[in-house]
Structure 1
Amino acid sequence: MSSGYDVWFTEDAGEFLARSGEHLAHDPVTGTVVTTIAQRIRDSGRGSLAHCWFAVVTGPDGAISGIAMRTAPFPPHPVYLLAMPDDAVAALSAAVLARGEDIGGATGLRPAADLFAAAIAHRTGRQVVNGVHHRLFELGTLVAPRPVPGRLRPVRADEAEHALAWVQQFFADADEQAGRLAGHDGEAAAFDIDDVRRKLAEEVLWFWEDAEGRAVHLIGANPPAYGVSRIGPVYTPKEERRRGWAAAAVAEVSRLLRERGDRVILFTDQANPTSNALYQALGYEPVVDTVRIDIV
């Protein structure tokens, strides 16, 4: 490319990780979404994904300057970007459009995702609409919350439908708490029973049950990638909130993940001050902001 940046595409997650793994290992926290999804697709296949590609942007010196992917299972299948220089973003946007793709959104680390969306909108005569703003946190020193009755336990196979209903309600409630239209981006609908069963097989889905044995909270995580485990979703039904279940569950899962040697991270919705305050009280520290942008 004339800027001195080159963009390499592949639909092979294993090939992508072989080429970019050393680069991703330098910052496995901010690269968490890319690494977990790439590993999952490498190991289990792309399934029914409408779009599935990974991109590596190299600079004039041949070194990797940026990483992107398009694997979102929900419309408009936004492109996900990690941090990269402005010129690398420009090269990526031009290369993606040269592939003939209709890009309806961007997501990922700021400001790369913002710049990419703006470039696509400018080149295609459209405009950007800022949507969801998240913040990535990493656990520092774990601070124990106040004790509550009950315990953490794995979700059982016969509870898969129950867990799925709560995961889908998690997305709806997150939108409501942030003042957004529920289901605005289709992410909840894209999460199905097969995803729940996969998490059960990976042993990364739990209920907090109270002293009477009732499930009162759901918490999940992702298998570790490059030594980093990401917690989520974290969901308490409305009738069970303000009782300390979420704090207890997040603290216990954080402890379990750290004890096995993982760095522990999670995302929060910046429009939800309650969850942001909860995680910081437990010892989570902000790392980077991300954004989801629609191009209309």
Structure 2
Amino acid sequence: MSIIPMAGLRLRFFTDPGEFLAAAGDYLAADPVVSTVVTTVANRLLSQRTEGISQPDRNWWLVVSDDFGAVVGAGMRSAPYAPYPPFLLPMPDEAAVALAQALHEREEEVLAVNGALPAVELCAAELARLGGGRVQVAQHTRLHELGELAWPPPAPGGLVVATQDDVDLVTEWFAAFMGDADEQAGRPRGTSAHELPDRAEMLRRLQDGRLWFWVDETGEPVHLTGANPPSYGVARVGPVYTPLSQRGRGWASNAVAEVSRQIQAEGARVCLYTDQANPTSNKIYAALGYRPVVDMANLVIVR
């Protein structure tokens, strides 16, 4: 752990996700929907560490605390894909600026920042000021939480759990989801950086039973929905992917509704992210009962 003091605030960097969760757990649990990305990633990487899977040296976990020791912000740099953007939760404005200064002093190359507004805007702007370049928006996202589930018109077929035997199709659809999401939002394919799990990680996810197909009347998979295991009582749905030839038939609405129902039946709250540039998905989730919680952004620094 390294500590960077500043007037009224303190930045603490951790290399161990377990130590980070021990330091920030109460803060993260106080708003588990907003902190869902950080908590699910931290718990997943902590689990992998106990299995002997090492993490890159570039990974860090951030806790922001005030003069009284109260945690007032958090973040992480654990993305496995270039340019390895930090992900920031809400924090005081001065902490976001101080983080950029700390990263510059640590000589970390940071060319993208994801997470909560306005922290990401302030951090990215200061990084650009210190290192040169200009900030551009790669994606505006919105976090939603499910209230009372509203069932869509029924679609033929049903939900089935994907198994490890389905790893090739699931991997293919994960990759297609990333490119299609860009196109649906009016961006060139590959514009948004995303994580594509390797085969070992995909097999682990399938073993956990958190990926589902919607199958049609013939038993043919026509849609894929995933969800993270609950963390602090919140499970995040995603990805949600329907191949182009199968769209417009209600598969996605019915699959997300049933997955959401199952998660709520387990006693967890349900949330998901949408791309604000994709009106179709936003309309679908709103109709199911998902309501906006907070706006976030993925920013890039162009030099």
Deviations 1:226-270 (A, max 9, x none): 000000000000000000000000000000000000000000011
Does the CA contact (< 8 Å) of 1:75 and 1:185 recur in 2? no
Residues 29-44 of structure 1: pairs in structure 2 closer than 5 A? 29-44=33-48
Q: Please, which runs of 5 or more residues in structure 2 have no aligned partner?
A: none
Distance 2:25 2:6 in 1: 27
Distance 2:28 2:223 in 1: 33
Match of residue 173, structure 2, among 158, 166, 185: 166
Percent identity of equivalent pairs? 47
Q: Provide the residue aligned with 2:85 in structure 1.
A: 78
Distance 1:139 1:2 in 2: 39
TM-score normalised per structure 2: 0.94
Q: Provide the residue aligned with 1:210 in structure 2.
A: 216
Question: Which residue type is aligned with residue 144 of structure 2?
Answer: F
Residues 73-222 of structure 1: pairs in structure 2 closer than 5 A? 73-187=80-194, 190-222=196-228
TM-score normalised per structure 1: 0.96
Match of residue 264, structure 2, among 258, 264, 275: 258
Decide whether aligned partners of structure 1 residues 131 and 250 sit closer, same or farther in structure 2, where only a CA change above 3 A counts: same
Decide whether aligned partners of structure 1 residues 225 and 160 sit closer, same or farther in structure 2, where only a CA change above 3 A counts: same
Distance 2:112 2:7 in 1: 24
Does the CA contact (< 8 Å) of 1:86 and 1:115 recur in 2? yes
Decide whether aligned partners of structure 1 residues 50 and 293 sit closer, same or farther in structure 2, where only a CA change above 3 A counts: farther
Distance 1:186 1:193 in 2: 19
Does the CA contact (< 8 Å) of 2:144 and 2:273 recur in 1? yes
Deviations 1:207-239 (A, max 9, x none): 000111110000000011000000000000000
SS in 1 for 2:67: coil
Does the CA contact (< 8 Å) of 1:136 and 1:286 recur in 2? yes
Give the deviation of 1:47 after TM superposition: 4.1
- In the alignment, structure 1 residue 244 sits paired with structure 2 residue 268: no
Give the deviation of 1:158 after TM superposition: 1.3
Q: Provide the residue aligned with 1:281 in structure 2.
A: 287
Decide whether aligned partners of structure 1 residues 47 and 177 sit closer, same or farther in structure 2, where only a CA change above 3 A counts: farther
Give the deviation of 1:178 after TM superposition: 1.0
Residues 1-40 of structure 1: pairs in structure 2 closer than 5 A? 1-40=5-44
Question: Which residue type is aligned with residue 28 of structure 1?
Answer: P
Distance 1:50 1:2 in 2: 25
Does the CA contact (< 8 Å) of 1:134 and 1:289 recur in 2? yes
Give the deviation of 1:92 after TM superposition: 1.6
The number of aligned residues is 295
Q: Provide the residue aligned with 2:236 in structure 1.
A: 230
Return 88-97 or 131-140, whichever deviates more: 88-97
Give the deviation of 1:49 after TM superposition: 3.7
SS in 1 for 2:95: helix
Distance 1:114 1:195 in 2: 32
SS in 1 for 2:262: helix
Return 283-292 or 179-188, whichever deviates more: 179-188
SS in 2 for 1:107: strand
Does the CA contact (< 8 Å) of 1:57 and 1:92 recur in 2? no
Q: Please, which runs of 5 or more residues in structure 1 have no aligned partner?
A: none
Question: Which residue type is aligned with residue 261 of structure 1?
Answer: G
Question: Which residue type is aligned with residue 115 of structure 1?
Answer: L
Question: Which residue type is aligned with residue 36 of structure 1?
Answer: T
Deviations 1:59-89 (A, max 9, x none): 2332111101100111111111000111111
